[in-house]
Structure 1
């Protein structure tokens, strides 16, 4: 299934990634940010319904000046502290800054969010290739696209949706900037179950892959 997931990601198609039953127990839509369109954003908000975020490789995030939100907000009383995350007590969340591209209007429309994701991918590509664009000249915060900063050691240290999506991109030789969104259940108000997410994938002809398979491939093939 890993080969099918990589091929779908390369083609700019959605891949459904399930993390782990003992973690979030959630399935996320994942798509490469450089090929995302307003139609993809619409599908994510209508069929997934969670938070639309863009995962970024740690190396690129560092060059782009994207801190962990927990570090940037330490001066506040509500800043996240170690052990605050119930599904991952050993790590803080991967949230960084919420941004809009400066060419957007409100930043929240399908067109605006697709543009922001596309432009984030451009900056990640430059950063991963040793260059650096002027991030502040193109983006502003606060905005409507949550950026996620992957752990520097990826799946060797943290196994969240951020790291799973970036690891899959790394395995496939794809620019490590992936836009993701959790799948929610309209009836229960909870995360969509793995079984229902798999049914959705089958109905829509999408690739469904479990985090365990991505981790197994990562460890066996020493992708770093």
Structure 2
């Protein structure tokens, strides 16, 4: 495929992801306005978790593509809670509804899991095992291999799974969909570990300018959601 029309940042980001490397992903002005670490789940090791934990500080999650989510039976947490509220009405008042989220219509949270071979699930090596094995399970199910998700994972756990919207960026432009859109364009397994970057001084989201400086200082690609959206629309047209 010809990627000449893509921005240099997008091309560099795709190449980094194909090599299993970490990038920095900013969503969009007027949305969360956050920068996330993003790395293919298949490539994650304990040192990657340490970087996300110490230099990111946000929640370490795994974005999973919609097709794989469907095959694995990963449903939205809000939908599970609505079902549970039919038995326990006390849950009804806390389930997200339209207008609850200032920057979006809904969240993408699904299950929270630990791999069954972890102990507490929270140390770097435990989370790395959970994340990398999620990547392997997603790869296998997308290759048509019969996968029993519950045989390897238990819930609740310490790694949040995020289910990407069915139509990805045509539906929602969150970090979940942006990261999965990158996997599709890169031709890699649609499972990405992501983690928000926070500012050590004020506890707020790290500014875009500081995230860009971090990327420059650490040799990482910094890419913006608006670039990804433009490239993804071009890529989609190429598929038809």
Query: Per the alignment, in what secondary structure is the counterpart of residue 52 of structure 1?
Result: strand
Determine if contact 1:63/1:132 at 8 Å carries over to the other structure. Answer: no
Of 46, 52, 71, the residue aligned with 2:54 is 46
Determine if contact 1:123/1:132 at 8 Å carries over to the other structure. Answer: no
Name the residue aligned to 1:123: 137
Runs (5+) with no aligned partner, structure 2: 1-8, 86-90
Find out whether 1:82 has 2:98 as its counterpart: yes
Name the residue aligned to 1:182: 196
Alignment of 1:21-170 (within 5 A): 21-74=29-82, 75=85, 76-77=91-92, 78-88=94-104, 91-170=105-184
Give CA deviations for 1:91-135 in whole Å, capped at 9, x if unaligned: 310000000000000000100000001111111112222333100
Structure 1 residue 191: Cα displacement: 0.1
1:39 and 1:218 map into 2 onto residues whose CA distance is 30
Name the residue aligned to 2:5: none
Find out whether 1:11 has 2:19 as its counterpart: yes
Name the residue aligned to 1:2: 10
Name the residue aligned to 1:205: 219
Superposition CA RMSD, Å: 1.0
Structure 1 residue 22: Cα displacement: 0.6
Determine if contact 1:64/1:132 at 8 Å carries over to the other structure. Answer: no
1:62 and 1:131 map into 2 onto residues whose CA distance is 14
Structure 1 residue 217: Cα displacement: 0.4
Name the residue aligned to 1:20: 28
Runs (5+) with no aligned partner, structure 1: none
Determine if contact 2:185/2:235 at 8 Å carries over to the other structure. Answer: no
Count how many residue pairs are aligned between Structure 1 and Structure 2: 222
2:135 and 2:235 map into 1 onto residues whose CA distance is 26
Query: Per the alignment, in what secondary structure is the counterpart of residue 222 of structure 1?
Result: helix
2:43 and 2:23 map into 1 onto residues whose CA distance is 13
1:80 and 1:112 map into 2 onto residues whose CA distance is 30
Query: Per the alignment, in what secondary structure is the counterpart of residue 85 of structure 1?
Result: coil
Give CA deviations for 1:20-76 in whole Å, capped at 9, x if unaligned: 111000000000000100000000000010000000001111111111001011112
